[in-house]
Amino acid sequence: MGGIARMEALNRAKAKLIYDYLDSQDFYRGTADADSRSDMNVTFRLPSPELEQKFIGEATAAGLAA
């Protein structure tokens, strides 16, 4: 896959896609300051606790929970 440097570049590019989307709209809200963001763990919130629980439930049902 191109070694560690290539994998790092791919991870940074994937994280950038997600952060750019989070920053472009108001529904999902990123929780980390721009200078403190992780390339591996993107954190965000939804508009309400009820929507967050629905999101978690659907993600779990889809096999996205560890």
> Taking the chain (66 residues) in consecutive chunks of 10 residues, what is each chunk's mean pLDDT?
92 96 95 94 96 96 88
Question: 19 Cβ partners below 8 Å, 6+ apart?
Answer: 30, 34, 37, 42
Give me the pLDDT at residue 2, please.
Answer: 85
| Cβ atoms within 10 Å, residue 10 | 13
- pTM, two decimal places: 0.77
